[in-house]
Chains A and B, each alone.
Chain A
Amino acid sequence: MNIPESAPSDTDLRSWLRARVAHYVQLDVADIDTTTALTTYGLDSVYALILCGDIEDHLELVLEPTVAWDHPTIDALARHLEETLAQGSPSGESR
């Protein structure tokens, strides 16, 4: 997995997230709606933790493990990550 030099744009991030979700739930990217709750795809509860780990490694951020519970669609998650990156500080300082 490449780590981007600079923060990816919102669209990049969204399509990356969409690809990750499609990857885990084994659907075509085209079948993943960015406004649909991740729960609908079965990515809830402890299963949402895999996304959090992937995002942390991809963006080199430290996040709250519950990030995908609090921002439960791809759009919401992308928006939140975009803001976090813009602030230049991780949202989760708990470690």
Chain B
Amino acid sequence: MIDETGSRDAQAGIAGPEDDPATAASIEDLAAATIDTPTTASLNDLEHLFGDPWDPDNPTGHAAVLAADEAGEMLAAGERLLDGYGLNAEFVPPELGGRLTRLDHLIEVMRVVFRYDPCLGLGYGASSLIPAVNVWAAGDERQRRRMAEVLLAGGRAVSGYHELAHGNDFARAEFSALPGDDGRLRLNGRKEVIANARRAEAMVLFARTSDAPGSRSHSQLFVEKADLPAGAPVHLPRFHSAGMRGVQLGGLEFRDCPIPADAVLGAPGLGMETALRSFQVTRTALPAMTAGILETGLEVTARFANERVLYGRSLAGMPYIGSILADAFTDLLICDCLATVTARSVHLLPGETSLYASAAKYFVATLLMDAMDALSRVLGAQFYIRDGGYGIFQKHLRDLAPAGFGHTARVACLSTVLPQLPRLARKGWLDDTQPPAGVFHLGADLPPLPFERLSISSGGRDSLSASLSAALGSCELDGELRRLVLVIAAEQADVRRECAALAPGDLTVAARPEALRLAARYAAVLAATACVNIWLHNRERHDAFLSDPRWAVAALGRIAERVGRDPGQRPRHVTERLSAEVLSRYRDRRGFGLSNRRLPG
């Protein structure tokens, strides 16, 4: 892969196939690559490689993506493209030779992949990222180095957590790794509905290493296929799915299979804790990447509205259609604000992200799904038809569904947040300690990812929530936006009061829906807090759209409605500003997210 930006491509060469001309990159290029960040230039590289999605002859365009989906196969040309780009290097920390310096950058890169083909996003990307992050968080020197080598050589890793019998309740996982007669661990049991089960060179398996009940009885194991005896594991038949049809979902069965003694990640018994810490990174990143699906959804819908003529006028000109476009666009911006602030918090407030990551996973996934549903109504029959010019929409809609239940169900995320809320209501929310302003500065420098400082509880602290009242203290905040921030602040006060009064049973697995809804309302307030602070802190960025308060007015209004508060009538000029922005970004080929990036082509 040779093009104008040598530095990023030199890195791609490391991970690329032997015959890739970029492997011949000079030492200077490699040195430059190590300080390179996925700037706009490298994002543009990736976009250029994928090419024009609407070109019917493009091997990685919508037509090809749809054909692979119909065949239930991964898009081979897409996998080759990502091999060449060295996508796996995005999942590996820099000290191990990769480019995983910042979560917000990783999200931007993966979002491009999700925009084109969510099957590549999940099957090539996220399913290797999840096990990798667990190795970075808990693995020893050797395990970290080996995982990095496998990925940088273009290999895949299996994320082996799920068992059909236990779903989200993985504290009850039965898959076991207990010592055999010779003292070596023996694997027994099945992992099912596992992406790339047959294709991966390495795996991270969540296994019971003690018969005792409780959360110290499991460990995670890093196992390489090459170290297993012949015939292991047994591959179970493929699962066929409604969406993500190209992703090869399989199952692994082990019967008394010995594994090397040094497979356990960290000390035995840390499996659950490691998962709850590492999943904060992936619960933040995955829904944020998935927002690429809604970006494509908006693009397809804008194209349709632009082309379709009814009653002698363009559909795009009908106020009803314009307001649906405006709402979906607003929801995408809300997702971006919450996801970006959460991703930056992983770097800056790792002790508190146990709250934010689960709240963000719940809220972002919910908004994305609702917004795609709403857009499908604009497309009418075209959203139901699998071929033709708009067929890509129904594929993206189907591919989005796993955001709701995969990598922890949304309600299970709420039940991670809920037990922490009463204590926050008693103490934490009375503390006015502010988060570092860097959590709100788009693109600003970040310290390295502090995997070792992620904690399973926020210890009663929640500085992001404190930044809502701080925003109210800003004299920049006036008019309609101030009025709406006050509506959200009233909601925040209600949430606090109701959390303080929660019945004890509601903090356990017996929680009533109203109690879980409190956690959902907490997430909504957090999203509004992120939106208003992103607006306040990024007004000097020479982005006329971003500094215009109207998107934030729309965002807070949507959030207020979602939690059942009356935001008042949205001024017409706000809706019109947003729908016009959707159409002009479509016509100018710019991205629909916060970054407002110009797309090549």
Contacts and interface: CB of A to CB of B under 8 A. Distances in A.
Contacts of B276: 46
Contacts of A43: 508
Contacts of B508: 24-25, 42-43, 47
Interface string B416-428: 1001101100110
Nearest to B412: A46
A65 B215 contact: no
A70 to B, nearest CB: 7
A47 B456 contact: no
Given A24-B505, A26-B505, A42-B510, A49 B214 contact: no
A57 B460 CA distance: 10
Given A24-B505, A49-B457, A53-B460, A66 B420 contact: no
A40 B214 CA distance: 9
A53 B504 contact: no
Interface string B429-457: 00000000000000000000000000111
A13 interface: no
A94 B508 CA distance: 26
Contacts of A40: 213
Contact of A95 (B215, B459, B505, B509): B459
Given A46-B415, A46-B416, A47-B509, A69 B214 contact: yes
B272 interface: yes
B460 A56 contact: yes
Contacts of B150: none
A77 interface: no
A22 to B, nearest CB: 9
Contacts of A53: 420, 423, 457, 459-460
A47 B419 CA distance: 6
For A37, A39, A46, A94, the residue with the greatest tally of chain B CB atoms inside 10 Å of its CB is: A46
A13 to B, nearest CB: 19
Contacts of B459: 53, 56, 62, 65, 95
Contacts of B212: 37, 72
A38 B460 CA distance: 22
A66 B215 contact: yes
Q: Looking at B276, B420, B456, which has the most chain A CB atoms within 10 Å of its CB?
A: B456
Interface string A50-92: 1011101100001001100110100000000000000000000
B455 A39 contact: no
Contacts of B460: 53, 56-57
A94 B457 CA distance: 12
Contacts of A39: 213-215
A71 to B, nearest CB: 10
A43 to B, nearest CB: 7
A40 to B, nearest CB: 7
B348 interface: no
B457 A24 contact: no
B92 interface: no
B539 interface: no
B4 to A, nearest CB: 47
A2 interface: no
B171 A57 contact: no
A7 to B, nearest CB: 21
B398 interface: no
A45 interface: yes
B423 A45 contact: no
A47 B507 contact: yes
B253 interface: no
B423 A70 contact: no
A48 interface: yes
B216 A69 contact: yes
Interface string B282-313: 00000000000000000000000000000000
A45 to B, nearest CB: 5
Nearest to A46: B416
A42 B422 CA distance: 18
A38 to B, nearest CB: 8
B455 A94 contact: yes
A57 B426 contact: yes
B351 interface: yes
Central interface residue in B459, B460, B509, by most chain A CB within 10 Å: B459
Interface in B161-206: 171
B79 interface: no
Contacts of B509: 42, 47
A55 B494 CA distance: 26
Contacts of B426: 57
B455 A65 contact: yes
Contacts of A50: 419-420, 422-423, 507
B20 interface: no
A26 B511 CA distance: 12
A44 B505 contact: no
B273 interface: yes
B213 A52 contact: no
Contacts of A46: 276, 415-416, 419, 456
A70 B47 CA distance: 49
14 contacts: A24-B505, A25-B508, A26-B510, A38-B214, A39-B215, A40-B213, A48-B215, A53-B459, A56-B460, A57-B427, A62-B459, A69-B214, A72-B212, A72-B213
Interface of A: 23-26, 37-40, 42-50, 52-54, 56-57, 62, 65-66, 69-70, 72, 94-95
Given A24-B504, A24-B508, A72-B212, 6 more contacts: A44-B213, A50-B423, A53-B423, A57-B423, A65-B456, A66-B215
